Amino acid sequence: MQFNEDLLRKVIEEVMAEVAAPAAAAAPAKTIVTEGTVSKIKWTPLGNAKRGTDPREVVVALPPAFGDQFQKTIIDVPHAEVLRQVFAGIEEEGCNYRVIKVYHTADVAFIAHAGAKLSGSGIGIGILSRGTSVIHQRELAPLANLELFPQCPLLDAEVFRQIGKNAAKYAKGENPVPVPTRNDPMARPRYQGFAALLHNKEASYLDRGKAPVEFTVEIA
């Protein structure tokens, strides 16, 4: 697996520019998009997210830059494909999904927990722009979870579909076998620096005073 060198170069240039010129922080942030990339996600805001009442609902919770300033995971899985697979996995289990964006944190555990608290079933999925994901339950503490997927370089489209399926199974009251994921001891040293840069850039799009917003999502 190789990360996108053009994206890495752009992120490093932006971070270095911000360090060298703090005054530039007030300027609009640049969009991080690899050359030729076109978003295939249409976001329509529906207002502040409310707690759902559907007992078969799974809330998919995302940070504000997901599918917007960022459009691919750390291994170039398009965000449109990530959502397509997660939604398909949920629907295959006979459940429904609702999408929110969480603006006050870039911590995937707290994003997922915010989704779980708003979910009619009490189950939420949190996904960072780089791909790190969590399946969460409302009654658990924020730093506890049902399933954690910390090695984003190992999460491909098939894994995201299984994440959606397992979340739906939890929503139905089942106890599914955890989603099997690969383990690569070299993933951390190879991607850690890049992941840290992406995290810092993702955090720059937060609005800590803004409540979660519900969206309808159309994927081309």
Mean pLDDT, the chain, rounded, equals 87
Pairing verdict, β 57-62 and 96-101: parallel
Task: Enter the pTM of the model.
Answer: 0.83
pLDDT attached to residue 15? 55
**Where are the strands (E) in 76-212, listed by range?**
96-101, 123-127, 133-137, 147-149
Do 198 and 73 form a contact (C-beta atoms < 8 A)? no
Give the CA distances from residue 66 to residues 13, 19, 55, 178, in Å, rounded to whole numbers and listed in that order.
20, 24, 26, 25
Give the CA distances from residue 141 to residues 53, 74, 100, 190, 210, in Å, rounded to whole numbers and listed in that order.
21, 28, 20, 31, 22
- Per-residue pLDDT tens digits for 17-43: 554 444 334 333 333 333 334 458 999
Closest to 192 in 3D by CA, of 107, 132, 143:
132
pLDDT attached to residue 194? 87
Residue 58 pLDDT exceeds 70: yes
pLDDT attached to residue 25? 41
Do 155 and 79 form a contact (C-beta atoms < 8 A)? no
Do 90 and 59 form a contact (C-beta atoms < 8 A)? no
More confident site: 8 or 113: 113
Q: What is the pLDDT averaged over residues 109-130?
A: 98
Closest to 182 in 3D by CA, of 206, 208, 139, 149:
149
Residue 124 pLDDT exceeds 70: yes
- Per-residue pLDDT tens digits for 146-192: 999 999 999 999 999 999 999 999 999 999 999 998 877 787 778 88
φ and ψ at residue 84, rounded to 5 degrees: -55, -45
pLDDT attached to residue 60? 98
pLDDT attached to residue 36? 37
Residue 76 pLDDT exceeds 90: yes
**What's the CA angle centered on 147, arms 50 and 114, to 5 degrees?**
20
pLDDT confidence tier of residue 7, bands split at 50, 70 and 90: low
pLDDT attached to residue 22? 44
Q: How far apart are the first and last CA of the chain?
A: 26
Domains of the chain, start order? 44-179+186-219 (3.40.50.10150)
